[in-house]
Structures are given as structure tokens and as C-alpha cells.
Amino acid sequence: MRKLDTKTLVVASHNKGKLREIADLVAPYDIEIKSALELDLHEPEETGTTFEANAYLKAHAAAKTTGLPALSDDSGFCVKAINDDPGLYSARWAGVSKDFNMAMRNVIEKLQAANKLSGKENTGAYFVSVICLAWPDGHAEYFRGEVHGEAVWPPRGDQGFGYDPMFQPEGETRTFAEMSAEEKHGNVSGDPLSHRSRAFKLFVDQCLQA
């Protein structure tokens, strides 16, 4: 396992919600982050067939361009009754306009149709996050976090982003969009709750701790 030996890290993302979450997670560790958005880096096409492959495409492209280690996150919302869709293609379901209200409507319509066909009420869903830390020489480390729960309708809450308003994690009565960033990151309970914070904890434990 290669340790991060620099105090500057590129976050290979143009997603403002994701950048905000990662900035919050990195804040306690005295690391300066530069985003692909502020550096005006090209967004590589996500042609991978796994979360790990897409995370690497983004992280390695940013690391190679800047000469600095780069961190990326590839994540998705997976609904069990519809073959774990939208999954790897979660962002694409929102279209070029990033309309996640439309994407959530598409998810619930497909879920209701699948449940009607099967005669079962299966609302099981989960979020996946794979964080990739890549260096300019091509070396990479991967950290995967998951959180399971159920898809709910109608969407609830105005915090978070993406599919957060329709996901209720196990053991909770609120959706991710009804929780503060501090709660999702585990700053309140002490345990990381979101998929991204769980993946990030593995990154911290393995690449930042002495």
C-alpha cells in the first residue's frame, strides 16, 4: 500500500456536490486540494465497465496532467429489483442537463413496473462509492464503500445531491437528503454512514495514517 507523501492532492471531479463532500472529508488532514473544475482539466470519457475502472480513468488522467497524486470517486445508486440499475450509469440517467428529478422518476417508474411484474414489493437499494488514488506513474490504490437501505417515494429532503432524496439507509427513518453532511460523514455518531465517507475512511486508514 503506497502512502500519500504530498500535502497537495488533485480531486478529479467536476461535480460540485461531490467536490463539496470530499473537501469536507479532507479538511481535518492538512491537505490542500485542487479540483479538476478549478484547474479546468478535461473530463475523460467514462468507458469502464466497473466503478473501479471509471475511478481510475478519472484519477490517472488528472495525475498525469498535473504531475500530482489525484483522487477520484466513482459512485452509483443501485436498485436491486431493476438489476442494480442505474448503478454504473447513475449520472447518465440524469442526462446532459444533470436532471436528477427526472432520473429519480425514471428509477421509481421502473421499480414499480418490476414489482408489479414480480408480484413482490422489493424496495432494496444501495449506494456504492469507489475512491481511487492515482499517481502520475500509473500506480493506484482503491477503496470501496457501500451503504444499504431502500428506495423511497416520493423523494424527501433538500440536502445532499443526486439520488439522496430517494434513499433511506438501514436503521434510519430519514433519507440522505434529510441529513446534514456531518451526519452522513459520521462526525455526529462517530461512524461513517454514507458510501463515500466509508470509502474515504479506508483511504485515510491506509494512505494517510503513519
b/e burial code for range 90-107 (CB count within 10 A of at least 16 → b) = bbebbeeeeebeebbebb
Tell me: the pLDDT tens digits for 67-111? 999 999 999 999 999 999 999 999 999 999 999 999 999 999 999
pLDDT beyond 90 at 190: no
Q: Is the peptide bond before 155 cis (omega within 30 degrees of 0)?
A: no
**C-alpha distance from residue 202 to each of 83, 129, 140, 149, 192 (Å):** 27, 12, 14, 21, 11
Q: DSSP code of 75?
A: E
Name the pLDDT band for 5 (thresholds 50, 70, 90).
confident
Per-residue pLDDT reduced to its tens digit, 15-45: 888 888 888 888 888 899 999 999 999 889 8
How far is residue 144's CA from residue 163's CA, in Å, rounded to a whole number? 19
Q: Catalytic site residue 84?
A: no
The CATH code belonging to domain 8-208 is 3.90.950.10
Q: Identify the active-site residue in 5, 30, 74, 85.
A: 74
Between CA 41 and CA 136 the distance in angstroms is 15
Q: What is the pLDDT of residues 122-169, one digit of tens each?
A: 999 999 999 999 999 999 999 999 999 999 999 999 998 999 999 999
Predicted confidence at residue 181, as pLDDT, reads: 87
Mean pLDDT of 179-190: 80
Model pTM score? 0.92
